[in-house]
Structure 1
Amino acid sequence: MRIAIVAGETSGDLLGAGLIQALRIRFPDALIEGIGGPQMNSKGFNSHYPLETLSVMGLVEVIKHYRQIKHCHHHLHRYFSQQRPQVFIGIDAPDFNLSLEYLLKQQGIPTVHYVSPSVWAWRQYRLRKIARACDLMLTLFPFEAVYYQQHQLPVKFVGHPFADEIPLQTDPIAARQSLNLSPNGTWIALLPGSRYFEVNLLGPVFLQTAQWLLARYPTLQFIAPMANETLFKLFSQQMAAFAPNLPLTLLQGQARPAMAAADMVLTASGTATLEAMLLKRPMVVAYRLAPLTYWLAKRLVHTPYFALPNLLAQEKLVPELLQDQVTVEQLGQAMVHWLEHPQQVTQVQARFTHYHQQLR
């Protein structure tokens, strides 16, 4: 049994690891290969390229890395055409995976796409490409499955594995002890992203916001988990430049324990917002893109929200700030709102619990 899987970034690596673990129960001797990261590799996965090869987002960023991505695409197409898998599973990375799925499907290889592209929000014409490329779409969220059913495309809502992994209640004191943090005081987790360009754009303003908050609440403490060594080094340099005296514990990895240890979270948009929601942590969500990418996105995206909790609720449960809105004062004021309104924290945690149960 040969199974091909291609994941495109840190969140896909986590999903892929859970998928491989489940597949090995059914097919313990299967050869599972493609592109993955450390989590997938720990399950006996054979990765042909580093995960970072596909961890690129936005038009400008993709153009910069186009030749490398194209070479990777050609290699995988050629390899899986010769070493035919029983199934190809593309995890997220839709621009890369859907085109590869299309080519392999033309050769009679069954194809599955795990994690729906945001076709309900923008570039709806991709539905035609999805119909041609994959035999089955696996969605993480129920509203996505409804959308595909309305367009008569094969789909299965599988829920999100994080909803099973994370208990309905988590103990911040126990999480702090596991990370050797002080059990006392108010902790804020800073998560400026899992990609280099995200941390490059958001790291300084997150650190300056933390400094702004500390000036108003001198007992605050901060924790910042970085996805890999490269981001750890980048954020360390940013700390030295923008907040050298900030009481901050910097970690490599351990994003989930860090959020569990925190009372609230300042995070980039992405999978971290889902984990923060499942951990019942109030959050402020921010995002910045390269100016050209943002200019294009404004004209193509048709959804009022971008933070996952708000998309699930179809209302603004948590503050979300985009591009020019991402300033120290606006981020700081949004965090102060949670600090000063514990009743609203309790209310939003009840909503988070509802969506947690829905995703199981």
Structure 2
Amino acid sequence: MSTSSLRIAIVVGEASGDILGAALMQALKTRHPQIEFIGIGGPRMLAEGMHCYFPQERLAVMGLVEVLGRLRELVKRRKQLVADLIAAKPDVVIGIDAPDFNLGLELAVRQAGIKTVHYVSPSVWAWRQKRVLKIRQACDLMLTLFPFEARFYEEHQVPVEFVGHSLADQVPLSVDQTAVRAELGLDPAQPVLALMPGSRGGEVERLGSLFFDTAERLRGEMPALQLVLPCATAERRSQLEAQLAGRDLPVQLLDGDTAKALTACDAVLIASGTATLEALLYRRPMVVAYRMAGLTYWLLRKLVKSPYISLPNLLAGEGLVPEILQEEATAERLAAEVKPLLQPCTQRDTLLARFAEIHLQLRRGAAERAADAVLRLIGRA
């Protein structure tokens, strides 16, 4: 291991990137103690010793209208950051997620002779596939969380390494359902359904009442059914409490505690998104539902190339879990799909075995693999 100093630049744009970035910094410091970090990071990365050029929150923008309102600032900040990084001459620049900001930055610094890595693939395999041409120009190495992403880049001659998903490293291979049910005051002998209608206000607005309607229908057939719902934020809890008002529906709302909800439950009714991966890792059968604006859905149906939207099905390459979208997502349909999952059966056991296989496939020590790949790229492994 070399003892000479390294300077590594990392740029993240949101909280999930800060988590990945901090874990990567820890792994790099373990392998190469004489190291300096510069760039843009959140509180976790700052705690690891990053010198930050400006607050990460200035890049954390979601939604077309919001981006347009901040576009001038974002362009100006990227231009200045490119200049700062070129002047600092780091050994490598690592962009974590935030592809609309980071790929342009990576292209500029790579043209100046600096090695570049992009960590967390944009969804080029699903839509806007021509972006892979820009990615090929912008980065010396793509690090992916999922194996199907790596296969896509290999087919398009982009240097790539599948490193696994840090969530798969964090979720234990077995959990104590009995202990968590006792902690939550749930009857260990009766079925438990977790409701997870999303973490964003728009998702909860479209799915919250639908999920509660579904739960009411299920309790009409299974009166002993117990319900838990982890609220992503205080704002989402207030929103859900308003949707529950006037209903005779005993839902236990948890502040965060997604892990407890998934450990305690027998099955999950869940919005499409990263939470479906977490449900898979906890080996919980699920029904995936989603509703979006009609025009958005119409456009995505024209643009998206993948036959699946949920991560369990994308990872398996087959329809392991039901995906119920748009007008097909009714309380009657969802209840019919969920009910069999709350009871033991051979099909359930087969599904959970597949989930276990995928967990092991993703559980690779993501941060350590990413650190090793970066150091190999710059000849400092």
TM-score w.r.t. the length of structure 1 is 0.86
Aligned to 2:128: 123
Match of 1:195 among 196, 200, 207: 200
Distance 2:71 2:195 in 1: 30
Question: Does 2:70 match 1:68?
Answer: yes
- Secondary structure, aligned partner of 2:242: helix
Q: What displacement does 1:183 show?
A: 5.0
Partner of 1:180 in structure 2?
184
Q: Which has the larger Rg?
A: 2
2:255 is aligned, of 252, 255, 274, to: 252
After superposition, residues 253-292 of structure 1 pair within 5 angstroms as 253-292=256-295
The alignment partner of 2:157 has SS state of coil
Note the aligned Cα RMSD (angstroms): 2.7
The 1:357/1:228 distance shift into structure 2, 3 A limit, reads same
Mapped to 1, the partners of 2:247 and 2:279 lie a distance apart of 27
Is this contact kept in 2: 1:187–1:262, CA < 8 A?
Answer: yes
State which drifts further: 18-27 or 328-337. 18-27
* TM-score normalised by length of structure 2: 0.82
Aligned counterparts, 1:334-345, within 5 A: 334-340=337-343, 342-345=345-348
8 Å contact 1:13–1:40 — kept in the other structure?
yes
CA contact (8 A) 2:8 2:93 kept: no
Aligned counterparts of 1:281 and 1:343: Cα–Cα separation in 2? 14
| CA deviation vs aligned residue, 1:5-44 (integer Å, no higher than 9, x gap) | 314454x4543443343234346674455254x6666656
Tell me which residue corresponds to 1:79.
81
Q: 1:321 aligns with which of 314, 324, 336?
A: 324
Q: Is the aligned partner of 1:138 residue 2:138?
A: no
Length, aligned pairs only: 350
Q: Secondary structure at the match of 2:334?
A: helix
1:153 aligned to which of 131, 149, 158: 158
Distance 1:238 1:72, change over 3 A: farther
> Contact 2:10/2:21 (CA < 8 Å) preserved in 1?
no
Matched, 1:103 2:103: no
For the residue of structure 2 that corresponds to 1:50, the secondary structure is: helix
Aligned in 2, Cα 1:278/1:237: closer, same or farther, shift over 3 Å? same
Q: What is the aligned partner in structure 1 of residue 176 from structure 2?
A: 171
* 2:219–2:225 CA contact under 8 A, matched in 1: yes
- Which sits farther off after the overlay, 79-88 or 335-344? 79-88
What whole-Å deviation, never above 9, does each CA across 1:132-158 have from its counterpart, x for those lacking one?
Answer: 222211011112212211211110110
Distance of aligned partners of 1:212 and 1:68 in 2 relative to their CA distance in 1, 3 Å threshold: farther
Residues 222 and 70 of structure 1: is their aligned pair in 2 closer, same or farther, counting only changes over 3 Å?
A: farther
Change over 3 Å in CA distance of 1:51–1:352 after alignment to 2: farther
> Share of identical aligned residues, percent?
47
**For residues 137 and 186 of structure 1, what CA distance do their matches in structure 2 show?**
43
- Report the residue type matching 2:275 in the other structure: A
> Is the counterpart of residue 346 in structure 1 residue 349 in structure 2?
yes
How far off is 1:118 after superposition? Answer: 2.1
2:276–2:311 Cα contact (<8 Å) kept: yes
Other-structure match for 2:55: 48
Conservation of the 8 A alpha-carbon contact between 1:113 and 1:136? yes
Among residues 208, 219, 224, which one is paired with 2:224 in the alignment? 219
Shift of 1:51: 8.5
**Is the contact between residue 13 and residue 56 of structure 2 (CA under 8 Å) also seen in structure 1?**
no
Cα deviation code 1:55-113 (max 9, x no counterpart): x3xxxx31344223552453244135325455433333323332333334334443321
Aligned in 2, Cα 1:86/1:231: closer, same or farther, shift over 3 Å? farther
Equivalent residue number for residue 378 of structure 2: none
* CA gap 1:217/1:41 in 2 versus in 1, 3 angstroms: farther
Judged with a 3 Å threshold, the aligned counterparts in structure 2 of structure 1 residues 92 and 310 are, in CA distance, closer, same or farther, namely: same
62 and 345 in structure 1: CA distance in 2 versus 1, 3 angstrom threshold: same
8 Å Cα contact 1:9/1:51 also seen in 2 = no
C-alpha distance in 1, partners of 2:92/2:247?
50
Structure with higher RCO (Cα < 8 A, 6+ apart): 2
Rounded to whole Å, the distance in 2 between the matches of 1:262 and 1:126 is 40
Question: Which runs of no fewer than 5 residues in structure 2 stay unpaired?
Answer: 1-6, 364-381
Unmatched runs of 5 consecutive residues or more in structure 1: none
